[in-house]
A and B are shown apart, each in its own frame.
Chain A
Amino acid sequence: MKPETTNATTAPSKPRLTTSAMIASIAAEGQATKPAPFGHALIEVARRRPEIVGMTADLGKYTDLHVFANEFPDRHYQMGMAEQLLFGSASGLASEGFIPFVTTYAVFASRRAYDFIHQTIAGENRNVKIACALPGLTSGYGPSHQATEDLALLRAMPNMTVIDPCDALEIEQVVPAIAEHKGPVYMRLLRGQVPLVLDEYGYEFELGKATQLRDGEDILIISSGLLTMRALEAAKLLAADRIKAAVLHVPTIKPLDVETIVAACRKPGRAVVVAENHSVIGGLGEAIATLLMRARVYPVFHHIGLPDEFLAAGALPTLHDRYGISASAISNSIKSWL
Chain B
Amino acid sequence: MTGQGHNISLSERARRIRCHALRMGEVQGQGYIAQALDIADVLAAAYFHAMRYKPEDPEWDGRDRFLLSNGHYAIALYAALIEAGIVPESELDTYGFDDSRLPMSGMASYTPGMEMSGGSLGLGLSIAVGKCLGLKRRGSDSRVYTLFSDGELDEGSKWEAMMSAAHFRLDNLIAIVDVNNQQADGPSKQMMGFEPLADKVRAFGWFVQRVDGNDLEAVVGAFDAAKTHQEPQPRMIIADTLMGKGVPFLEAREPNHFMRVDANEWKLALKALGEGRSA
Contacts and interface: CB of A to CB of B under 8 A. Distances in A.
B235 to A, nearest CB: 17
Interface stretch (B15-23, B73-81, B121-129, B178-186): B121-129
A85 B133 contact: no
A120 interface: yes
Interface residues of B, number: 31
Contact of A116 (B108, B109, B123, B129): B123
Contacts of B137: 53, 93, 96, 98
Contacts of B123: 88, 115-116, 119-120
The secondary structure that dominates the A interface is helix
Contacts of A84: 122, 126, 156-157, 160
B129 A82 contact: no
Interface in B118-141: 119-120, 122-123, 125-135, 137-138, 140
A95 B130 contact: yes
A89 B125 CA distance: 8
Interface in A83-115: 84-85, 87-98, 100, 115
B117 interface: yes
Contacts of A287: none
A87 B164 CA distance: 13
Given A116-B123, A119-B119, A88 B129 contact: yes
Contacts of A98: 134, 137
Contacts of A94: 130
The secondary structure that dominates the B interface is helix
A87 B126 CA distance: 8
A85 B117 contact: no
A205 interface: no
B134 A93 contact: yes
B14 interface: no
B120 A119 contact: yes
B157 A92 contact: no
B108 A93 contact: no
A96 B160 contact: no
Contacts, number: 94
B164 A79 contact: yes
B133 A88 contact: no
Contacts of B164: 79-80, 82, 85, 89
B157 A93 contact: no
Most A CB within 10 A of own CB, among B108, B127, B134: B127
Contacts of B119: 119
Contacts of A97: 134, 138
B272 to A, nearest CB: 37
Given A89-B164, A115-B120, A124 B130 contact: no
B219 interface: no
A196 to B, nearest CB: 35
Contact of A96 (B108, B131, B157): B131
Interface in A71-85: 77, 79-80, 82, 84-85
B119 to A, nearest CB: 7
Nearest to A95: B131
Given A85-B126, A124-B109, A80 B163 contact: yes
15 contacts: A82-B160, A82-B163, A84-B126, A85-B164, A88-B127, A88-B161, A89-B164, A92-B127, A92-B128, A93-B131, A94-B130, A95-B115, A115-B120, A120-B117, A123-B117
The 5 closest A-B pairs by CB, nearest first: A92-B130, A88-B126, A96-B134, A89-B130, A92-B131
